[in-house]
Amino acid sequence: MLSDHKFAVGETRTLTGLIDFPEFNGERVKITGIREDGPRGKAYYVEGRIADEACNWVYEYRLT
C-alpha cells in the first residue's frame, strides 16, 4: 500500500509530546495499522502500554 505517511506498519517508534497522556511520553510502540486521517493530520493504530491503558492510536506528529 502506497501512502504519504512517514512511518510504516510494523515499525517501532517512540511517543513524544503527548498532552492528554503525558505518562506515556518516551514509551516505545509498534505501529499496527494506518488510521483514517483526523482533523490534526495522519494517524496510526499502535500496540503497547498506551493501547492497553488509554488509547490505541496516535497522530504521526506524536511519534519519533
- Output the CA torsion sign for 6, 15, 52, 21: negative
Question: What is the pTM (predicted TM-score) of this model?
Answer: 0.88
Alpha carbon of residue 11 to chain centroid: 10
3-state secondary structure of 8: coil
Q: What is the pLDDT along the chain (64 residues), one digit of tens a residue?
A: 446 899 999 999 999 999 999 999 999 999 999 998 888 889 999 999 999 999 999 999 999 9
